[in-house]
């Protein structure tokens, strides 16, 4: 507790929110840290838990663009997390790190004005898959003492790996049909050659009725066939399991722009996000 108090005194204030940097959620690696952004005088505010992308190999918690100001203005506490990366660790370790960061958030966020029972789990690209998995496979949250009822919603942004066997086969068949070499850094390389592992690390595998899965808002780039197909597949299974789901097919954008613009008030996808979030946390 004393460490946290000293660190908070060194926090930065800018753009209408206070930032608490490099809070540790684990001791195994320097990447097991997170940042907290709180608006002025916060108390029992909903929490946006953000997971960066980067293909599970790059990226950083500081890559939040307009999101800190947006969430502060909307009356949220924002948590942005780092996690260990491939190839230094296996994929399962990355899932465990994100779950551990979520566990830290649930246990500690009240100190920063957040409500531990109103958490929205969000992520972009690789972070979209991580966010979705945490919200459908209860093993991860349960291991860190986070009740599923505390997760009020999930917002995966432009992920292409909700169904791993499908994306692996799609990519490899496309390359083969065009007589092109197989990817040297593709999903099979990152997730290994074990077909059962591909199934187990697929979000779609773990969607069932009556599991307490929170509602989903799936954002994806409209013009990209792979992320579109993955979003449609995820949405269909959620609907079959009676999980509320909204799908936004974002036009006139690309993978990186969709994420970078999220949080800009003149962005149509941000307006849709605001509408959905208000229903989830009321």
The tens digit of pLDDT for each residue in 233-267 reads 999 999 999 999 999 999 999 999 999 999 999 99
Compute the average pLDDT of residues 215-219. 98
Per domain, the residue ranges of the chain are 2-163+202-275
How many Cβ atoms from other residues are within 10 Å of residue 182's Cβ?
11
How high is the pLDDT of residue 13?
57
Where does the pLDDT of residue 15 fall: very low under 50, low under 70, confident under 90, or very high at 90 and above?
A: low
How high is the pLDDT of residue 10?
42
CA 9 to chain centroid, in Å, comes to 29
How high is the pLDDT of residue 152?
98
Tokens of 116: 């531990």
Give the up-direction half-sphere exposure of residue 88: CA atoms within 13 A in the CB hemisphere: 11
How many Cβ atoms from other residues are within 10 Å of residue 15's Cβ?
11
How high is the pLDDT of residue 125?
98
The tens digit of pLDDT for each residue in 126-144 reads 999 999 999 999 999 999 9
Q: What is this structure's pTM?
A: 0.93
Contact 102, 141 (CB under 8 A): yes
Q: Which CATH class is domain 2-163+202-275?
A: alpha beta
CA 199 to chain centroid, in Å, comes to 20
Going 257 to 259 to 263 to 268, the CA torsion angle's sign is positive
Which of 11, 21, 80, 125 does the annotation list as catalytic?
125
Q: Would you call 125 a catalytic residue per the annotation?
A: yes
How high does pLDDT run on average in the chain?
93
């Amino acid at each position: 507790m004393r460490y946290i108090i000293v660190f908070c005194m060194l926090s930065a204030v800018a753009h209408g929110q206070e930032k608490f940097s490099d809070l540790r959620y684990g001791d195994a690696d320097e990447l097991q840290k997170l940042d907290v952004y709180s608006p002025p005088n916060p108390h029992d505010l909903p929490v946006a838990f953000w997971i960066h992308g980067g293909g599970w190999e790059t990226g950083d918690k500081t890559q939040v663009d307009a999101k800190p100001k947006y969430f502060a203005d909307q009356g949220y506490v924002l948590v942005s997390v780092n996690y260990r990366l491939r190839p230094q660790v296996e994929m399962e370790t990355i899932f465990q790190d994100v779950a551990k960061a979520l566990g830290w958030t649930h246990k500690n966020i009240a100190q920063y004005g957040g409500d531990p029972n109103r958490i929205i789990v969000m992520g972009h690209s690789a972070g979209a898959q991580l966010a979705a998995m945490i919200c459908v496979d209860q093993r991860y949250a349960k291991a860190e003492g986070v009740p599923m009822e505390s997760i009020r919603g999930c917002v995966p942004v432009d992920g292409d790996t909700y169904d791993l066997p499908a994306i692996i086969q799609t990519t490899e068949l496309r390359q083969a049909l065009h007589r092109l070499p197989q990817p040297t850094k593709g999903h099979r390389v990152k997730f290994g050659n074990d077909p059962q592992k591909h199934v187990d690390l697929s979000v779609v595998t773990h969607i069932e009725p009556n599991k307490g899965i929170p509602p989903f808002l799936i954002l994806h780039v409209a013009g990209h066939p792979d992320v579109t197909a993955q979003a449609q597949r995820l949405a269909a299974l959620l609907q079959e399991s009676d999980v509320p789901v909204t799908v936004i097919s974002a036009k006139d954008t690309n993978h990186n722009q969709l994420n970078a613009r999220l949080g800009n008030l003149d962005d149509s996808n941000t307006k849709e996000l605001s509408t959905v979030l208000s229903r989830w946390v009321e």
